[in-house]
A and B are shown apart, each in its own frame.
Chain A
Amino acid sequence: YQRLGDVAFNKIEKVSGELFTLMYGAIVIQVLKDADGDAEQTSTQLEKMGYNIGMRMIDEFLAKSNVTSCRDFKETGEVIAKVAFRMFLGVTAECHHSAPTVSPPADGSPQASSDAAFRLVFVENPLSEFVELPEHCSNLAFSNLLCGVIRGALEMVGMRVSCRLVKDTLWGDEHTEISVVLKEVIAEHYQDDED
């Protein structure tokens, strides 16, 4: 997947890293202002914004990365860490698995386990470069947009997940970590509304 990530990264058009960081910072400040300085509300709002972005971004990702279907949730994590992160953020994350993987059933569809999960770990974060959190919003989940993006994108490919910023270098941790837990595999259904 590393190679796929590099290929995708090389193909995609890029913007200046600093510009990206500054723009994101400006967005966070604006959302914080709109929320009257409430860090928790801001974190939630950032996640919601990310969710809408993720729902669109998935198509660009699928179209440009040429990844094929993942066999299990573990592979999903690897693809996000090595291909998606590289393609959109220019950095590679590590994917750590905390739960035993579930072997897929015979028909090939992914099966949800009550604790299928992975953690995305990364040190470099282009969203939060040059950023320091002031005391009055020291619990702000600055990069929560990423959690929303992951949640929105995965929902569009049939997985309902919960996504949380667990560690952040802005909080004094040694790296940034996002936990992704699979809640439900969304089965395809079609309602026929005429009898």
Chain B
Amino acid sequence: ARNWAYHRGSCRPVVLMIFNMYVFNRDGVCLFYRDWHRVHRTVESPAADQKLMFGFLFSLKQIVNKLTPQNGMPGFHACQTNKFKLNYYETASGLRFVLNTDLQAGDMREPLRHIYAGLYVEYASKNSLYKLGDPLDNDLFVQSVDQYIRSLPSFGS
């Protein structure tokens, strides 16, 4: 019952969902990709998909910086279509965390920050066996991310 939410106005039940997640470093290397509920996949390889995502984020950031109506760095953190919301967290060190959710999932900034501060820093930065820029495939990191995402109220079953 807690996985269901009612869309404003209609009685149609909507399942809250987190679709997938990417982690990129500042050179555009996709360090981590995981999906939970992705149904539509691009025809090409995961590598092409990741490259597309990074290119999109990079361009979007440049454009947002130029178009922002106020002074100062805008720092975009989300954008959405009528089907999904792309949540974004970029660190000063150039790490980019992307979480695609459905429209009801809410503000993902805190979960993204936790994935960085609580999981990446602990299981990657502090892991002497992990070389910066390598794929994040160590068990601890992968499993704790999975566990954490599944524990979020926005995650449908």
Contacts and interface: CB of A to CB of B under 8 A. Distances in A.
Interface stretch (A52-60, A82-90, A171-179): A52-60
Contacts, number: 52
Interface in A36-76: 55-60, 62-64, 69
Contact of B54 (A62, A69, A190): A190
A15 interface: no
B92 A69 contact: yes
Contacts of B132: 55-56
A63 B115 CA distance: 10
What is the size category of the interface that chain B forms with chain A? 20 to 34
Contact of A59 (B65, B72, B95): B95
A106 B71 contact: yes
Contact of B93 (A59, A64, A106, A192): A59
A108 interface: yes
A62 to B, nearest CB: 5
Contacts of B152: none
A62 B120 CA distance: 12
Nearest to B59: A190
B58 A157 contact: no
B55 A56 contact: no
Interface string B47-64: 000000011001000000
17 contacts: A55-B132, A59-B125, A60-B125, A60-B126, A62-B93, A63-B117, A63-B120, A63-B121, A64-B117, A107-B66, A108-B71, A108-B72, A156-B93, A157-B93, A157-B94, A188-B94, A190-B28
7 closest cross-chain pairs (CB), A and B: A63-B117, A156-B93, A56-B125, A59-B125, A108-B73, A157-B92, A63-B121
